[in-house]
Chain A
Amino acid sequence: MAYRIGCDVGGTFTDLCLFEVETGRSIFVKTPTTVGHQGTAVVEATKLALGYAGIMPSDLVGFAHGTTVATNAILERKGARTALLVTKGFRDLLIIGRQTRAHLYDQAARRPAPLVPRSLVFEVSERVGPDGQVREPLDEAGIRDIAEQMRAAGVETVAVTLLHSYANPVHEQRIAALLAGLLPDLRVSISSEVLAQPGEFERASTTVMNAYLMPPLRAYLNAISSDLKASGVTAAPAIMQSSGGVMPIETAGGVKAVHTCLSGPAAGMIGARGFAVAAGYDNVVTIDMGGTSFDVGLIENGQILTRYESAIEGFPVRVPMFDIVTLGAGGGSIASVDVGGLLKVGPESAGAMPGPAAYGKGGTRPTVTDANVVLGRLRHGRALGGGIVLDRERAVAAIREHVADPAGISVEEAAMGILRVVNAAMVRGMRGVTVERGLDPADFAVMAFGGAGPLHAVDLCAELDIETVIVPPSPGLLCAIGLLLAPWRHDETGMVGRDARELQGGDLDAQIAALSERVLAQAALDGVVADAVTLSTALGMRYRGQGHEIFVPFSSDGTLADALDRFHRAHRQSFGYDRRDQPVEVLLLRMHGTAPAPTDRLPLPQIEPGADPVVARARLWVDARFEDVPVYDRARLAPSTTLHGPLIVEQQDTTLIVGRQSVTVDSLGSLIIRMQDHA
């Protein structure tokens, strides 16, 4: 029998799914993340799972891994000591950025300080023009001086970003070769390799981030790889990228370090898509609500929306990432009454410490979680793990003191008010995310996960006229499952920069050939056979003078005229008009290669047969009064069961609240709530 493991390290828990390839049977392990040395929990969880399944480490044929090492290194500024090398005259590239300030009115707000201080930015004389012509030769002697200064300053890694290097990387490549000879221990990342497209600040920012992350990622991945080997695992770990594809550790610790920033959340989206599509839904808004954040993602026509322009902790990063938007609302958001007597929820959060009042960890200010406890949506006495047992009295006291009494209303009214206000904020965010992308939320279903997503999903959907809510079988394990479903993926970008009227279809062939060569070379390095790789090409075009490109598919056997027609139509669809009489500029060529995931099977639900699914009854606040409702254990709900609300469904890591709607369990164990089935 062959087995695979998907293992995702999150901020709090390390989740692992052991999957039997032929049958779809699975074993899940959830263990606290070992902060500071994540590898320990990963290896422990692996051993536990192998033990439960009674199999040998050598039975594993695949090990896919999602990591937060990159995210943590950025959050805690614990990347390597990084320098930046730029064209002479442009030393302040990172400080200036796009010259915008952080907040319109708050004079004290600042953009984050660059990852490279000004004292470690070095300038070299050289110049390449936008046409790729060398205008001024590279000052090689200058590189020797700079190398000496970097050595003296203890620099571990350097990013090289020269003007117009996307058009001709010769100087960047020469610098990398020179530095390899001068400082063999120095890690070098050149911008033409990380992101070959114009826009010097964003390219520099991305390259700096890559350089900054290479050493810590490499150290972590080498350690985990040898630990797994030592415990007998022969399958080489594959690392999740922010774009939903996997890559081997050598690539992740090198030229693609910056591709791991959203490793875990990307895996979650793949898992979410798996269950959504299996349930018959191709257009889905995903909501992942935890203690401190609310993440929104989009699946359109079965494809997870990807963006190429993002920022991590305020630093622009231009590599493909799933388009996940984080809004600042979570279970820990604090409620208060302001000077004018109006209720406010957030932006302050009680976080994990001290946490909501109901946790009994010292928190005394009321949170969204406390409101859920007061209204019976989270039951008094429920154990949440980590020694936390929900205490309704503490929640009541906090809400009475800080909201109900100041506003002159009952505790239940206050709790309901807190939920309505935080829901209004989340509805605003969900509308923003969809509408800004030209989509109408009413055309989508919602998939809810995270500890608090299913608590709020039904109320949110009512406000957005969304008809269906899907809760996947293991909302807390979607990332681990997604890792098992991830394909191999590699992206390349090339600069075209020509007027479409001057271009013949054949002109692009040479460039496309060069890009496919690079993709296939990476595939070979990653151990993926060329025959398994599917290449997709897109052209980035715009009307001359516009600031943004639209990407349209371009097939090698198609014509440029077809692509142009697609561009005009896409422009009309996105912006309401086209201008077929205007010159079109073909700016960029984008290519990605994918190789299929080892499996597209989803884990089967684990149902305890025969047991009564109603494990308790509870007092739930419904329509302005408490009602006695059944509490179901998710693990006892068999496929094709249909239930009618109001009711509560509990499982280890989340709680679903259903009002007057009905719920059906599908064949994979997903709960499907239909909003229009109002009793």
Chain B
Amino acid sequence: MRKDAILPEIARHGLQAVAEEMGAALIRTAYSVNIRDRRDFSCGVFDRKARLIAQAEHIPVHLGLLAGVVERVIADLGADLPANGMIVTNNPWLTGSHLPDVVVMAPVDHEGVRLGYVANMAHQVDLGGIAPGSLALGTVDVMQEGLRVPPMPLLRDGEVDGAALKLFQLGSRTPDVVAGDLLAQAAANATGARRLADLVRRIGHEAFEGAVEALLENTALRLGQRFEALEGKSAEFADVLELRQGDADVDLPIRVRLSVSNGQLLADFAGTAPQVRAPVNAPRFLTASCVLYAVKTMLDPALPSNAGLMRKITVDTPPASIVDAQAPVPVALCTSITSQRICDALLGAFNKLLPDGQVAASTGSMNALIVGGLNPALGQAYSYVETYGGGQGAMAGHDGADGVHCHMTNTANSPVEFIEREYPMTVLHYGLVASSGGDGEFRGGHGLSRGIRLDADATVTVHLDRTRHRPWGVNGGGEAQGSRVVVEDAAGRRELPGKSTTDLPRGTVLVVETAGGGGWGSPVRRRPAARDDDVRNQLQPFMSAAAE
């Protein structure tokens, strides 16, 4: 039969619409701000062989996680998903993510015939563990991180399984929100299942399957074409993740060797640090997700997100390493910090393969700040959580963007006026860190600085990286200024460790500065006009003012 050039593209739009409608349903029914406003979720559509055929991702780190999840769960259960039901799990060794990322999946059937599956992953507010939010530092195993649930029915015969819902509620500090968000995840799947069945009916079952094969094949072909120029080449790069163990600073190397042969890309992480008794370990599916991100961003940003991608890519990870964690080590920060460093290692290796397409290192962390305590005005506990962007790495023809989220995340900030209305905090400044981007023909983006005065006693947790190892430049470009957190109270000024939890008294001033992005090309080649702009726009330090 002649290959159909038209139906696959029609099916692609239809499938993408299914994934997007699942997202719309999730946003409309979810309880938490995390899902509704920060869009910390992704939705996927799968064929009857459990292969990902369309995805609507809002967070790049989810890109590769959904791809194999249905297949892995079926293997774990030892049986296909029962009709008219839904399965839930948050086991990191199936989802590839940390415990708060919960996956709910559903089979799609029509008149007894399995058409495919739909699934979504969403970040739940709290699933227990030693600290609110289930993302604590100081843990040594995953049991301390919270509730871990193997694949189990959330719906049976179309009815919610009360015991499953209760299990999640009992394991959470915010039982109502978790129950509401789980039901929203189920509602999204119900929408997706209905729409997928409708799409298959319109197109015709056999024609649909042909179109799906063509779509996956097309993605693989397109990626294969991108690999052609790299055939026979290989490159290696290592970067480091910072950790503090006891009173000592420890560096954990992440090493990757990329090689292309016979049209296949191999990403081999041999030489990466062994796993640690701290929450920076990543399940290998997360590592694979970073590989997919790096491939898309370096080779073809518009490449469709489907299982065709994986046909041309192999990921090798040393077992029991920080890029292939084995239970029960803790994994809470794998998405916010480890993923960013895996990404940097991959980009470093790609830079060697693609001399014309080099990109400098970006801020390198999601830079989380968590402030909690008792709000004296309301007599209630509060918890402020925000992730801060930083400088983007420069590339040929473009300065890095200033003060943005880079690579594996892209969530919005909290407006200063909302922070001051909601929490006992005063924001003293919020701006770019002066001269923090790496110099070069094209300069790196600037990091962000926020100064906060605590108007009540508080417990402050920071998740920073790149405090000692600065984001690197490429092609002769300079490195960027690193990140740091400084506190100033009656006892004076001091820096806090990049990953730490500290009790601070009312009146303390806290300044978080995130790292900039590295520069591209020799600084002497920077155009005079660009230098003039830099001067005219006076990037002068905020810290000097705050330090007075």
Contact = CB atoms under 8 A, between A and B. Distances in A.
Interface of A: 88-93, 95-96, 98-101, 103-108, 110-111, 117-119, 129-130, 163-164, 166, 198-202, 337-345, 407-409, 413, 416-417, 420-421, 424-425, 427-428, 431-432, 435-436, 438, 463, 497, 545-548, 574-577, 579
Contacts of B176: 579
B6 A421 contact: yes
A493 to B, nearest CB: 14
B417 A200 contact: yes
Contacts of A431: 17, 21
B14 A108 contact: no
Nearest to A406: B5
Contacts of B36: 546-548
10 contacts: A89-B451, A101-B392, A117-B537, A163-B420, A343-B5, A427-B13, A427-B17, A432-B17, A545-B33, A575-B28
B403 interface: yes
Contacts of B432: 92, 95-96
The interface residues of chain A, by DSSP majority, are classed as: loop
B269 interface: no
Contacts of B404: 99-101
B412 A99 contact: yes
B222 A340 contact: yes
Interface string B412-424: 1101111011000
B3 interface: yes
A501 to B, nearest CB: 12
Interface in B209-246: 214-215, 217-219, 221-222, 225
A90 B430 CA distance: 6
A579 B24 CA distance: 21
Contact of A107 (B392, B410, B415): B392
Nearest to B198: A465
A117 B536 CA distance: 9
- A-B pairs, top 4 by smallest CB distance, nearest first, are A89-B429, A340-B218, A417-B6, A105-B301
A409 B403 CA distance: 50
A431 B389 CA distance: 33
B381 to A, nearest CB: 12
A346 to B, nearest CB: 11
Contacts of B413: 96, 98-99
B126 to A, nearest CB: 13
Among A408, A463, A545, A579, max chain B CB count under 10 A is at A545
Interface residues of B, number: 81
B536 A119 contact: yes
Contacts of B385: none
Interface of B: 2-3, 5-6, 8-10, 13-14, 16-17, 20-21, 24-25, 27-31, 33, 36-37, 57, 60, 176, 180, 184, 187, 202, 214-215, 217-219, 221-222, 225, 293, 296-297, 301-302, 359, 388-389, 392-393, 395, 397-398, 401-406, 410-413, 415-418, 420-421, 427-432, 448, 451, 536-539, 542, 545
Given A428-B16, A435-B21, A438-B28, A342 B8 contact: yes
Contacts of B218: 338, 340-342
Contact of B420 (A96, A130, A545): A130
Contacts of B428: 89
A130 B184 CA distance: 34
A199 B411 contact: no
A409 B57 CA distance: 35
Contacts of B539: 118
A44 B228 CA distance: 60
B402 A95 contact: yes
B417 A164 contact: yes
B28 A90 contact: no
A405 to B, nearest CB: 11
Given A408-B2, A438-B28, A576 B187 contact: yes
Given A92-B432, A95-B432, A342-B9, A119 B187 contact: no
Contacts of B397: 108
B401 A89 contact: no
A110 B398 contact: yes
B464 to A, nearest CB: 16
B409 to A, nearest CB: 10
A129 B420 contact: yes
Given A548-B37, A574-B28, A417 B5 contact: yes
Nearest to A413: B6
Contacts of A339: 221-222, 225
Given A105-B60, A343-B5, A432-B17, 20 more contacts: A91-B431, A92-B432, A93-B430, A96-B389, A99-B403, A100-B405, A104-B57, A119-B537, A199-B418, A200-B415, A338-B218, A340-B218, A342-B9, A343-B6, A428-B17, A435-B21, A546-B33, A546-B36, A547-B37, A575-B30
A338 B415 contact: no
Nearest to B23: A436
Contacts of B14: 424, 428
Given A107-B297, A199-B415, A100 B410 contact: yes
A430 to B, nearest CB: 10
A342 B180 CA distance: 42
Contact of B402 (A91, A96, A428, A438): A96
B3 A341 contact: yes
A491 to B, nearest CB: 21
B431 A92 contact: yes
Given A118-B538, A576-B29, A342 B5 contact: yes
A89 B430 contact: yes
A432 B20 contact: yes
Contacts of A119: 536-538
A446 B540 CA distance: 55
A420 B11 CA distance: 11
A438 B24 CA distance: 9
B410 A104 contact: yes
A540 B520 CA distance: 48
Contacts of A416: 6
Contacts of A497: 421
Contacts of B2: 408
A380 B409 CA distance: 52
Contacts of A436: 24, 27
Contact of A100 (B393, B412, B421): B412
Contacts of A428: 13-14, 16-17, 20
Nearest to A199: B415
Contact of B411 (A88, A100, A417, A574): A100
Given A337-B5, A341-B218, A435 B448 contact: no
Contacts of B545: 89
A106 B218 CA distance: 21
Given A101-B405, A104-B410, A428-B16, A409 B5 contact: yes
B355 to A, nearest CB: 16
